[in-house]
Structure 1
Amino acid sequence: MLSELPGRTVPYEVAEIRPQVGGIIIKRNFIEGDKVNQGDSLYQIDPAPLQAELNSAKGSLAKALSTASNARITFNRQASLLKTNYVSRQDYDTARTQLNEAEANVTVAKAAVEQATINLQYANVTSPITGVSGKSSVTVGALVTANQADSLVTVQRLDPIYVDLTQSVQDFLRMKEEVASGQIKQVQGSTPVQLNLENGKRYGQTGTLKFSDPTVDETTGSVTLRAIFPNPNGDLLPGMYVTALVDEGSRQNVLLVPQEGVTHNAQGKATALILDKDDVVQLREIEASKAIGDQWVVTSGLQAGDRVIVSGLQRIRPGIKARAISSSQENASTESKQ
């Protein structure tokens, strides 16, 4: 049993590329719209100021190491002299404090070198994912700042690609009730999904249902389902409107009736005209739960083998006799007249 749900395509992954250090863009290393791989260089920020910061940090570290070495020598000397009472306890404590401070300064200087090294690496702006690059928002010569609000470019992974579907709460609850009552036997494992594109053509790849959002959108009164599809040729682009055919499972004891054979009375109840065994037209009230394509799903009111009248409804009424012609015969007759 297939359920038709509207939806839109959504990228599998989206990376908005922002600089993590400031500086001047000196090179762009990609062509807009082309595929980029994870780790590929996208932009080069001028590394000269960052290299200078690294050199300065290394110099500060060397100075801190030298100071710590002298402080350690002084402390060791004071410690040996304290044993023979040639220095006071206060001088010894002062030397120990100076050594601790010097070693702490070494730790700070090492961290500064590590941070400066990282910043220099950040001058090469790389892509964190494999995907398709979008339009660059900056050109060579532009000044960028660390973690700025505007992204430099967006990279989107489109293979595979998500399709976000919407289902009304009424249909969602109906399906749960029918599964619980045994009217629908759900598909075991992954639920297959087919796609119809905006041009009416069927997408060539089959997807699977990933999850159903546990919350209801208050504005639309619907729940969101997400499916995932292979997209090796890039036929699906983000934002495309599609219609998904979700396999809900096999429905028990239901019939599919052409929409032409189902009408609604003044009370809004679905009805169908059938021919009984004596070729007499009878009016039946039916339960038509939903439409699938050009057919209604009828859950009650009809039985297998009932002959439903699908054409000439304006010329007949309940209680009269009529002659049944199968739809295939009627189509053949129409073609011969043409």
Structure 2
Amino acid sequence: MKGKRIAKGVAAAVVLMSLAACKDPGGAANRGAAQESPRAQVSVVMLRAQAVPLTTELSGRVVASLEAEVRPQVTGIIQKRLFREGGEVKAGEALYQIDPATYQAAYDSARAALVKAEAAVPGALAKADRYSDLVRRNAVSKQEYEDAADVLAQARANVAVAKAAVETARIALDYTTIRAPISGRIDRSSLTPGALVTAGQAVALTTIRQIDPINVDLTQSSASLLALREAIESGRLQSAGSGVGVRLKLENGTLYPYAGKLEFAESSVNQATGTYVLRAVLRNPARLLLPGMYVRAWVDEGTAPHAFLIPQRAVSRGLRGEATALFVRNGKVVEQTLTGARQVGNDWLVQTGVADGDQVIVEGSQLVREGDAVTAVHVELDKATGAVRPTRAVARADNADSPGATRPALIRDRQASRS
């Protein structure tokens, strides 16, 4: 009997709950939906127009400013090597000594022939002068006088030939001492003393390279040149002028301590690669740069007078690979393509489509999409690490409003802001 009364009570409760549901068909679900959903919060950085110096990164090879291959100009046996391999030599310094015996003998013979030729001149000159007086008195025939004059001319010509032979022999004798044609660092010797060398041989004895100052040949595409000229002509870029600066990064990643300048650009484009060569000149007192080394160079292009720097973390790629970023405008998210954007360090440089004071989202972009209403919180980015941190004004306000902030903490914040 008692069980039947409990069953009747449960049934009555179920009926009452059903009636209540009929009176409020939406129930608690409708009440929750009626409440306004909170706005997503995103971190933004405010953009400001500024003048930005621009550089372009190019690859290049180090080239000696002067290079000379040393070859013998006479034939003979090398007697001595007079330099230290790998050392510095001066122009005119003796490098090799070739056996001079035969060339000394030829020089002495030429000098003797000159003396013999000169000895014939006085007699021929006296005879010609004597016949000159006699022909005026008809004591000798005119033919005899002309013969005497011819002998004098031949004697003088023989002297000239003998002098030239002496000079030729002297030059050959001098060439037995092979000297440095330029100053610079000398390579190893390809031959040792005792080796036979010939005049103008194909194998160089050694090579001298001048590496202070030193050249760096950089390669740039012709398309980049056209884009640069277009930017300068349109006013988006102010030219760096004639003294274009160049900085280098070495193969191990270190920065070269000396800056250089562009010397010239080639006047033609390579048909196979579509590139042309820029040559930079740099100091190299420590001989750190050596010919053949691969380097990366930053070349000053000029200055963008009115540009905006958008942090790298705010930029993503669209469906077609173009750079895009999310902005907060009028409280809503707007996605925009960054036309003509280029990387400058850890930022993207943009000159069109962005206005002074625009707010770009740097944190929270994964939680929102275009058209969403959001709450923007201004932050700052650490230049070195790119980490997000609150702005100083926001941080002080948060500390002041926080119920857990003690008075000493507020005093410390105020003292830090004054300092």
The verdict on a shared fold, with TM-score over 0.5 as the criterion, is yes
Extract structure 1 runs of 4+ deviating beyond 6 A: none
Aligned-pair distance for 1:170? 1.1
Q: In 2, are the aligned partners of 1:288 and 1:296 still within 8 Å (CA)? A: no
> 1:302 and 1:17 mapped to 2: Cα distance?
62
Matched, 1:115 2:171: no
Matched, 1:180 2:236: no
More moved, 90-99 vs 49-58: 90-99
After TM superposition, list the pairs within 5 Å mapping 1:163-312 onto structure 2. 163-278=216-331, 280-310=332-362
Structure 1: gaps (5+ residues) = 334-338
- CA separation in 1, counterparts of 2:364 and 2:183? 59
Out of 305, 317, 320, the position equivalent to 2:372 is 320
Residues 153 and 104 of structure 1, relative CA distance in 2, 3 Å threshold: same
Supply the AA of the counterpart residue of 1:262. V
Name 1:96's counterpart in structure 2.
Answer: 149
Output one character per residue of 1:183-233: Cα deviation in whole Å (capped at 9) or x when no partner.
Answer: 221234522111111111111111111111111111211121111111111
Quote the Cα distance in structure 2 between the aligned partners of 1:128 and 1:311: 65
1:336 paired residue number: none
**Contact 1:19-1:148 within 8 A present in 2 as well:** yes
1:106 and 2:106 equivalent?
Answer: no
Check if 1:86 corresponds to 2:136.
no
TM-score normalised by L of structure 1: 0.91
Summarize the Cα distance change of 1:67–1:33 in structure 2 as closer, same or farther, 3 Å threshold: same
What's the offset of the Cα at 1:22?
1.9
- Partner amino acid, structure 1, of 2:387: N
Q: What is aligned with 2:83?
A: 30
**Cα separation, 2, equivalents of 1:44 and 1:107:** 31
Higher deviation after alignment, 321-330 or 162-171: 321-330
Write out per-residue CA displacement over residues 99-158 of structure 1, whole angstroms, 9 at most, x where no aligned residue: 112211111110111121122222111112221111211110111122222211101111
The one-letter code of the counterpart of 1:292 is V
- The structure in which a higher percent of residues are helix is 2
Partner of 2:208: 155
Per mean C-alpha deviation after superposition, the further-off stretch among 231-240 and 13-22 is 13-22
What is the distance in 2 between the residues matched to 1:67 and 1:142? 44
2:340 is paired with a residue whose SS is: strand
Q: Partners of 2:107 and 2:114 in 1: how far apart?
A: 10
CA contact (8 A) 2:380 2:388 kept: no
On the 8 A contact 2:244/2:262 being kept in 1, the answer is yes
Map Cα deviations across residues 54-108 of structure 1 (whole Å, 9 max, x no partner).
1011011111112222222222222222122222111111111121122111111
Does the C-alpha gap of structure 1 residues 317 and 326 become closer, same or farther in structure 2, counting only changes over 3 Å? Answer: farther
In the alignment, the residues of structure 2 paired with residue 55 and residue 125 of structure 1 have an alpha-carbon distance, to the nearest angstrom, of 21
- AA matched with 1:256: L
Q: What corresponds to 2:180 in structure 1?
A: 127
| Aligned sequence identity (%) | 43
Check whether the contact 2:240–2:301 (CA below 8 A) recurs between aligned residues: yes
Return the alpha-carbon distance in structure 2 between the equivalents of residues 10 and 107 of structure 1. Answer: 47
Q: Any conservation in 1 of the 2:323–2:341 contact (CA below 8 Å)? A: no
Who is 1:69 aligned against? 122
TM-score, L = length of structure 2: 0.74
For the Cα contact (< 8 Å) 1:274–1:308, is it kept in 2? Answer: yes
Counterpart position of 2:42? none
Contact 1:3 1:292 in 2 (8 A): no
The offset of 1:14, in angstroms, is: 0.7
Q: Secondary structure at the match of 1:248?
A: strand
User: Aligned pair in 2 of structure 1 residues 312, 132: CA closer, same or farther (>3 Å)?
Assistant: farther
Residue of structure 2 equivalent to 1:331: 387
- Secondary structure of the residue that 2:309 maps to in structure 1? strand
Moved more, 283-292 or 56-65: 283-292
- The number of residue pairs the alignment matches comes to 332
1:311 deviates by 5.4
- CA distance, structure 2, for counterparts of residue 313 and residue 85 of structure 1: 124
SS in 2 for 1:235: coil
Go from structure 1 to structure 2 and tell me whether the alpha carbon gap of 1:290 and 1:161 turns closer, same or farther (over 3 Å shift): same
Q: Distance in 2 between matches of 1:43 and 1:307?
A: 73
Q: Secondary structure at the match of 1:288?
A: coil
Q: Please state whether the residue corresponding to 2:338 is helix, strand or coil.
A: strand
Question: Which structure's CA Rg is the greater one?
Answer: 2
Q: Give, as a single letter, the amino acid of the residue that structure 2 aligns with 1:110.
A: K
Letter in 1 for 2:359: R
Which 10-residue stretch deviates more, 81-90 or 107-116? 81-90
